[in-house]
A and B are shown apart, each in its own frame.
Chain A
Amino acid sequence: MIALLTVIISFSAASIIGFIPGKNTKLIRSLALLAALATFAASLVCYFQYLAANSQFQQVIDLAWIPAIGAQFKVGVDGLSISLLVLTGIVAISGVLFSWELEDRANQFYAYYFALIGGVFGVFLSLDLFLLFVFYEIAIVPKYFIIAIWGSGKKTYAAMKLVLFSFVGSAVALFGLIALYYGSGQHTFDLIQLMQEGEFSETFQLMVFPILFVGFAILAGMWPFHTWAPTGHVAAPTAASMLLAGVVMKLGAYGCLRVAIGLLPYGAIYWAPVIGWIAVINIVYGALIALVQKDFKYVIGYSSVSHMGFVLLGLATLNEVGLMGASLQMFSHGIIGALLFAIVGTVIYTRTHTRQLYELHNLMARMPGVCWAFIIAGLASMGLPGFSGFVSELHVLIGTWNQDQFSIWIIILAGFGILATFTYTLVKIHEAFFRASQSHSTTESYAPMTLAEKAGCALLILFAVAIGLYPKLLTSILEPSLAPILEALAVAAG
């Protein structure tokens, strides 16, 4: 029940805040912060409850809903969903903190914001594929309005592109879901029942797995369907970029892992090398494009594509270490991606009013605090030891090494991708912060970070470091949740 509270709080917040007159910005943002904190608290309670009683699925609520199509209202959590619930809670709080100054139509902003968050929470909680899909689609429409109303640049174009990509992705996934319903012979959408009793023939798995995987992976930014991500992230207002990069892309990855791999292990084994190739293309391509971007936010946008490549690569390994790496990378990139977008989109932009790298000069002297925050985020993003990125990418690489089906080139390219990540991060940090300009010799300081910004940065850095130093915080809840998937894979591999 506590897990379900996250969804209830989010949707209640959306509807209550939506009806408060837009002028009461103070009331609105306090309520928004309160709601975000409440969802975070609920997710933490789930976390500790799960640690205490280590069973497979907890807090399962199972209500009859639409028997005509075998759909139930069935929710519950395991370690995988809890890690993402916590992530969503963290990003939701910091999103509110980094939108603290927002005054234009604040009530509508938070209405859409919490509708989106509610959808995201719902997906992570659903144990029924129909319900999961309902929440998955609920999360689509608010994104359009957030980007089209509060975004910048080519915002309506980016918003429409993002929505159409998401919708096409979900339509493809829906097709796969209906096939699952009939293919299982069970005539149910119950995820647990399908996992335990669904008997999918091998030809069925070979045909349906790519449909499901691609359908979900479009939202995870899989190449060549990633193009919505950079444009969408860049045009979106900061809080939305944080949510998009931080949690919405994880929806896709979560669907790939939970539904596609979890239910169709034989298909997953067959298609793993292809996914492996696509994943390294994601990593290398994203990193190289990030290297040549002039717009700071585009750099972060493409780095997201690159980092999601690691998630996909981890998924494609289909072994314990690799899947663990993918799950850790989802959490890690959720935190770090959100932090990078927050600093570039809000902290730096509100002071310099530009996102073009060549217009930024002497920032290290003029806003040292901000620069240090970004450098920490950048190091975390590079995967330096001590940060969560290191743990997750190391897992993924070891998993890749252990995957026998992969060509040696996949490993080499993944290594090259890490090198490219180092390069673009360092180059962009240099360009943005350390480059002194002859023509602009001013060293006048910018305003220091506000309390809200400091709090947001601190929260995100705290979690990036905590997971980096003590990954057991997550691995201990992820391990039992990945076990059944690995078991199914082992059975399918024969």
Chain B
Amino acid sequence: MNYPQLFLTTLPELIVVLGMFVALGFDYTKYKELDPQTRSNKVAALSTIALMLGLAGVVWQFLQVTDGSKTFSNSFNGQVVLTPLTLWFKGLIFVLALFVVQFAKTDVPNKHVSEYFGLILLSTLGMGFLITAQNLIMLFVSIELISLSLYGLTAFQTDKKFSVEAGIKYFTIGGVSSAFLLFGLSYLFGATNELSFEGITAAITSGAAPQNYVLIASAFLVVGLGFKIAAAPFHLWAPDTYQCGPVPVAAWVASGSKIASFFLLVQLFGPVLETSEQKETLIAGIVLVSVLSMVLGNIGALRQSCVKRLLAYSSIAHAGYILIGLVAANEDGSISVLFYAVIYSLATLGAFATIGIIDSRLGREAQIDDFNGTWKQNPGLSILFMIFILSLAGIPPLSGFFGKFYLFMAAIGSQPEIASWSEGFYWLVAVALLMSAVSLFYYVKVLKAFLVSADTPKLPSIQITKAEGAGLLLLAVLVVYLGIYPTGLVEFIAASLG
């Protein structure tokens, strides 16, 4: 084992872990006597520094790799694969974690401040490792690191019954899904006798691996990962987790962990779907999951009065849309899935953060009616929220529109010439378009409360901190920019998927 190289390869993660220990140490000793809010600010500052240094490390690695340096060519049997693409996405995860830390610090659920931030940092590491992992063992370990941290975070509001309940629900269902995943992974290993993705892909495409075992493994993986991305019918944990956990945690579950999971889906299923003899069966299964998610998610969201729960159902629907790109099983499909995962995370993080800010100032869970007349006293917040919601609804020129459009293009492009309606994916796109129209109803309903109602606002004038304001503004700018000019990101992903 080449230890100096291992050190350089995992440098960003090491920095973050070190930062976490520093934060924990200070919180247990020096800050012990301070009030929770001050401690929270100080620990958040330390976490921010750690993440920024980690991000700097990622950027350095990215520059090295794009320069063609061989420093990171050893991937330790696929455990840490550093390519421009994986590094870019890892960087994105770190950036999103930075946002989450800023949104989390004003309202820490209880006195265990440093554990709260520590768990956020740990899950960040898990997501980073998941993205760079192309090895079954590393994959499972990373997923467990993410999941265990998130279970804990969801149940963090120990004084609230529902938070704990949501945590337990998430934990139970998540545990079952991990079992499915592990079972699938073990079958995959059994069928191919390989641990690294590279070897597995080679075994499947060459036909060396028994196809039936690959199919069984893939089916279990779909179930296991279906839980992680909250696709129907494996979505039951999502509404409670999003609604009852602390809001920054919900934002984190909906953004960071989604990106990491979809990245994994593309990496894992891309080759299988393109070459396996059983791809028809597998695609049919994923199509079913996609349709169910779109229908159940959008219909479920229609009657919600709690915005967080509404966003949870909408996230189920979005998982359905994204799977359309996966079943396209072509290069455009993979690119569109990754692109959509990115822009969806930005918009949903922004939306959750806005709700979180409002909840924390209101001191309780905001219902849609509570937002009536918000434009009067908080015009800026209302406009930002409108941008996030309209992007989720897929209205141009925001990025959600191009993202969806690209997914649909990719799906139809996989088989543009059809002889009957059941061939190709025209019908699937038709379902998705119909469901987008349904979704517009509830998105507009939320915006109506914010921007239309002339009632006296129930919310007080909200003071947002500089960090929160900057975070929201930056997210909104990204959402708009990637909608108007998506070419840069699309071409980068295309080039690095190669």
Chain A window 64-105, contacts with chain B (Cβ cutoff 8 Å), 1 for yes, 0 for no: 111111000000000000000000000000000000000000
Could you pull out 7 A-B pairs where Cβ atoms are within 8 angstroms? A65-B487, A68-B491, A138-B397, A164-B437, A167-B437, A172-B433, A178-B409
CB of A465 within 8 Å of the partner chain:
no
Does the CB pair A68–B433 fall under 8 Å?
no
Interface residues of A (CB under 8 A from B): 64-69, 108, 130, 133-134, 137-138, 140-141, 144-145, 148-149, 156, 160, 163-164, 167-168, 171-172, 174-175, 178-179, 181-183
- Which of B68-76, B77-85, B399-407 binds A? B399-407
From known contacts A141-B390, A171-B436, infer whether A148 and B448 are also in contact, taking CB-CB under 8 Å: yes
What chain A residues lie within 8 Å of B401 (beta carbons)?
134, 137
Does the CB pair A69–B437 fall under 8 Å?
no
Additional pairs, 11, CB under 8 Å, beyond known A140-B395, A145-B451, A178-B429: A66-B486, A68-B487, A69-B409, A134-B401, A145-B452, A149-B451, A149-B454, A163-B440, A167-B440, A171-B436, A182-B413
Q: Which residue of B lies closest to A70 (CB)?
A: B409
The docked-state distance in angstroms from the alpha carbon of A172 to that of B444 is 20
What chain B residues lie within 8 Å of A178 (beta carbons)?
408-409, 412, 429
The docked-state distance in angstroms from the alpha carbon of A145 to that of B383 is 13
What chain A residues lie within 8 Å of B87 (beta carbons)?
none
CB of B396 within 8 Å of the partner chain:
yes
What chain A residues lie within 8 Å of B405 (beta carbons)?
69, 130, 174
Number of A-B contacts (CB under 8 A): 81
Does the CB pair B429–A175 fall under 8 Å?
yes
In the complex, what's the smallest C-beta–C-beta distance from B429 to chain A, in angstroms?
Answer: 7
In the complex, what's the smallest C-beta–C-beta distance from B489 to chain A, in angstroms?
Answer: 10
CB of B189 within 8 Å of the partner chain:
no
Contact of A182 among B406, B416, B452 (CB under 8 A): B416
The docked-state distance in angstroms from the alpha carbon of A441 to that of B254 is 68
CB of B335 within 8 Å of the partner chain:
yes
The docked-state distance in angstroms from the alpha carbon of A174 to that of B407 is 13
CB of B494 within 8 Å of the partner chain:
yes
Q: How large is the interface on B (under 10, 10 to 19, 20 to 34, 35 or more residues)?
A: 35 or more
What chain A residues lie within 8 Å of B397 (beta carbons)?
134, 138
Does the CB pair A137–B491 fall under 8 Å?
no
Does the CB pair A171–B412 fall under 8 Å?
no
What chain A residues lie within 8 Å of B426 (beta carbons)?
175, 179
Does the CB pair A168–B437 fall under 8 Å?
yes
CB of B63 within 8 Å of the partner chain:
no
- List B426-458 residues whose CB lies under 8 Å from chain A: 426, 429-430, 433-434, 436-437, 440-441, 444, 448, 451-452, 454
Does the CB pair B412–A182 fall under 8 Å?
yes
CB of B148 within 8 Å of the partner chain:
no
The docked-state distance in angstroms from the alpha carbon of A171 to that of B440 is 12
The docked-state distance in angstroms from the alpha carbon of A140 to that of B437 is 12
CB of B490 within 8 Å of the partner chain:
yes
Does the CB pair A138–B396 fall under 8 Å?
yes
Does the CB pair A66–B402 fall under 8 Å?
yes
From known contacts A69-B405, A145-B451, A171-B436, infer whether A160 and B487 are also in contact, taking CB-CB under 8 Å: no
Does the CB pair B335–A68 fall under 8 Å?
yes
The docked-state distance in angstroms from the alpha carbon of A164 to that of B429 is 18
What chain B residues lie within 8 Å of A140 (beta carbons)?
395
From known contacts A69-B409, A167-B437, infer whether A160 and B444 are also in contact, taking CB-CB under 8 Å: yes
The docked-state distance in angstroms from the alpha carbon of A171 to that of B439 is 13
In the complex, what's the smallest C-beta–C-beta distance from A317 to chain B, in angstroms?
Answer: 31
10 nearest A-B residue pairs (beta carbon): A182-B416, A171-B433, A134-B396, A148-B452, A68-B490, A168-B437, A137-B396, A167-B437, A149-B452, A66-B487
Does the CB pair A156–B448 fall under 8 Å?
yes
Does the CB pair B437–A68 fall under 8 Å?
no
In the complex, what's the smallest C-beta–C-beta distance from B212 to chain A, in angstroms?
Answer: 34
CB of B27 within 8 Å of the partner chain:
no
The docked-state distance in angstroms from the alpha carbon of A172 to that of B429 is 11
The docked-state distance in angstroms from the alpha carbon of A172 to that of B436 is 11
The docked-state distance in angstroms from the alpha carbon of A431 to that of B200 is 82
Q: Which interface residue of A133, A171, A172 has the most chain B CB atoms within 10 A?
A: A171
The docked-state distance in angstroms from the alpha carbon of A179 to that of B421 is 13
CB of B332 within 8 Å of the partner chain:
yes
Chain B window 380-418, contacts with chain A (Cβ cutoff 8 Å), 1 for yes, 0 for no: 000000000010000111000110011011001100110
What chain A residues lie within 8 Å of B417 (beta carbons)?
182
